């Protein structure tokens, strides 16, 4: 049976949804123009007034906003409400410059929880489920976001945060967690620790679902996780600027439903900024339709994806985004060829002897780019015979060449060499940027 959190909203006919979006967009442009000096200036510079926006098609007239705008107006220069109306802050890690600060009113938090309650319902979670939240708690949005979303939907939360993996596994068994929310990388690490301790996720726990996101991961990785652990692995997407973790796939696992009453989606050509059609791959741009503290207009997240407006088997009418390849700036250009780390993962995961952990190392040697992929063997395939090792390296090299059209060096490393991650994994070392 298909369950909905808010059936009327989730199955609203598309034309009604679009009418609602249009009204919300008109209100939004008036709201930001009145409440934010930043937006007023941005609109004035672009020569656009709120009354110019009457239809969804007029969205194109509005200027983009960027992560750099949030940094340039640090900490709260883009906010539309004074601090005393805020219920919470979250702050991004700021590894690539000044951190970005996101603020939430009570209504913003409620909308965030609602978004997740709809999503969790769509994957069959609710009352009676114990959701172990192993995303980091704190300034990162993952932990607290899932925490309150899980409470909203009526599940019981086990707020383990990330780390302390053996204890997590004990609690998972003792309290009977039925779902886990963490990065796919952390779940891989957790499964490895479980194996080392003789715990079978499939037989010794009640886990039935994983809510995995915050970093790119591939369909092939999904198959591996599902086969090895017997759980259903669901993709969850969000960014701190939009609130945090927000939307998941439904039970059919064919793209992530983005709630149209909360967000307006576009995909653009990253070079020209032109809107692309549904089904075309490009850079995701989102306009928030329901946020009070920090509404974002045509926000260039930078993630590469495809919008799918085809009806979904689940009956939800809200559009879907297909697996996110990563941010445009995660793309590596190696000898003129574009490579996303996720593409490498997709190829590696089809080779049974290759384990789940890998590292991409890019270098420049004598003016020429080189790419080395370090891999570990699975326990089942492990061999220390030179011939086997060379054979596997060649097999991986050929598979990568076939798909990426790029000659790479493959290096088999000892198990455990590649750093394990409890949060977002670092899968690339680009020495050209040092
Ligand atoms: O990672 C929010 C989140 C927490 C999402 C927990 C899902 C689960 P940020 O730290 O701001 O927020 O990073 C957002 O992570 O722009 C994508 O590049 C990437 N990302 C997030 N989810 C996915 C996903 C959180 N499912 C950035 N697939 C985004 C691919 C993802 N990339």
Tens of pLDDT along 53-106? 999 999 999 999 999 999 999 999 999 999 999 999 999 976 667 899 999 999
- Answer whether 301 contacts ligand 1 (Cβ < 6 A): yes
| Predicted pLDDT at 95 | 63
Report the chain's mean pLDDT, rounded to a whole number: 96
Domain 1-328: CATH superfamily, name plus number: ANL, N-terminal domain (3.40.50.12780)
Pocket-testing residue among 216, 238, 304, ligand 1, by greatest number of atoms within 8 A of Cβ: 238
Strands of 292-331, DSSP E: 299-308, 320-321
CA 215 from chain centre, in angstroms, equals 5
| Predicted pLDDT at 94 | 66
Give the tens place of pLDDT for each residue, 315-331. 999 999 999 998 888 89
- Answer whether 43 contacts ligand 1 (Cβ < 6 A): no
The mean per-residue pLDDT over the stretch 19-31 comes to 98
Instruction: Tell me the pairing of strands 368-377 and 409-412.
Output: parallel
Distance 180 CA to ligand 1 centre (A): 16
Cα(125)–Cα(341) distance, integer angstroms = 31
Distance 371 CA to ligand 1 centre (A): 26
Contact 224, 356 (CB under 8 A): yes
| Predicted pLDDT at 315 | 98
| Predicted pLDDT at 93 | 77
Give the tens place of pLDDT for each residue, 105-148. 999 999 999 999 999 999 999 999 999 999 999 999 999 999 99
Pocket-testing residue among 149, 237, 341, ligand 1, by greatest number of atoms within 8 A of Cβ: 237
Question: What are the boundaries of each domain within the chain?
Answer: 1-328, 331-433
The mean per-residue pLDDT over the stretch 272-296 comes to 97
Give nearest CA residue, ligand 1 atom 6. 142
Cα(37)–Cα(93) distance, integer angstroms = 26
- Answer whether 92 contacts ligand 1 (Cβ < 6 A): yes
Distance 90 CA to ligand 1 centre (A): 14
Fold designation for 331-433:
GMP Synthetase; Chain A, domain 3 (3.30.300)
Give the tens place of pLDDT for each residue, 383-431. 888 888 899 999 999 999 999 999 999 999 999 999 999 999 999 999 9
Give the tens place of pLDDT for each residue, 412-421. 999 999 999 9
The mean per-residue pLDDT over the stretch 185-203 comes to 97
- Answer whether 326 contacts ligand 1 (Cβ < 6 A): yes
Give nearest CA residue, ligand 1 atom 29. 239
CA 272 from chain centre, in angstroms, equals 25
| Predicted pLDDT at 75 | 96
Largest CA distance in the chain: 72
Predicted structure pTM score: 0.97
In 10 A of CB 399, how many CB atoms? 16
- Answer whether 216 contacts ligand 1 (Cβ < 6 A): yes
The yes-or-no verdict on residue 351 having pLDDT over 90 is yes
Strands of 54-198, DSSP E: 88-91, 101-104, 130-133, 156-158, 179-182
């Amino acid at each position: 049976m298909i369950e909905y959190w808010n059936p009327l909203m989730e199955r609203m006919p598309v034309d009604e949804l679009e009418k609602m979006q249009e009204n919300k967009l008109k209100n939004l442009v008036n709201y930001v123009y009145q409440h934010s000096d930043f937006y007023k200036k941005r609109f004035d510079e672009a020569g656009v007034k709120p009354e110019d926006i009457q239809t969804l098609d007029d969205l194109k007239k509005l200027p983009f906003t960027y992560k750099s705008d949030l940094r340039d107006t640090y900490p709260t220069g883009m906010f539309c409400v004074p601090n005393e109306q805020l219920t919470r802050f979250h702050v991004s890690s700021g590894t690539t410059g000044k951190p970005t600060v996101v603020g939430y009113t009570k209504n913003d938090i409620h909308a965030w929880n609602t978004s997740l309650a709809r999503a969790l319902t769509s994957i069959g979670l609710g009352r009676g489920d114990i959701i172990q939240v192993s995303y980091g708690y704190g300034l990162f949005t993952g932990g607290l976001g899932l925490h309150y979303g899980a409470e909203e939907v009526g599940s019981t939360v086990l707020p383990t945060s990330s780390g302390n993996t053996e204890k997590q596994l004990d609690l998972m068994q003792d309290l009977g967690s039925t779902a886990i929310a963490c990065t796919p990388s952390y779940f891989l690490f957790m499964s490895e620790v479980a194996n080392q301790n003789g715990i079978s996720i499939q037989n010794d726990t009640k886990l039935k679902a994983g809510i995995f996101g915050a970093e790119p991961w591939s369909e092939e990785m999904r198959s591996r996780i599902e086969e090895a652990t017997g759980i259903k692995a669901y993709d969850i997407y969000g960014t701190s600027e939009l609130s945090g973790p927000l939307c998941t796939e439904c039970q059919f696992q064919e793209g992530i439903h983005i709630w149209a009453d909360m967000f307006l989606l576009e995909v653009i050509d990253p070079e020209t900024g032109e809107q692309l059609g549904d089904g075309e791959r490009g850079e995701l741009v989102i306009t928030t339709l329901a946020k009070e503290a920090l509404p974002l207009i045509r926000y260039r997240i930078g993630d590469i994806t495809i919008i799918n407006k085809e009806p979904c088997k689940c009956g939800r009418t809200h559009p879907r985004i297909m697996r996110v390849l990563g941010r445009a700036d995660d793309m590596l250009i190696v000898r003129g060829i574009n490579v996303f780390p996720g593409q490498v993962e997709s190829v590696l995961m089809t080779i049974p002897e290759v384990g789940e952990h890998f590292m991409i190392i890019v270098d420049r040697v004598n003016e020429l780019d080189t790419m080395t992929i370090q891999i570990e063997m699975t326990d089942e395939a492990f061999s220390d015979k030179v011939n086997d090792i060379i054979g596997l390296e060649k097999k991986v090299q050929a598979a990568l060449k076939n798909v990426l059209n790029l000659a790479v060096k493959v290096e088999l490393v000892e198990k455990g060499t590649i750093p394990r991650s409890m949060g977002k994994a670092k899968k690339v070392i680009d020495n050209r940027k040092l």
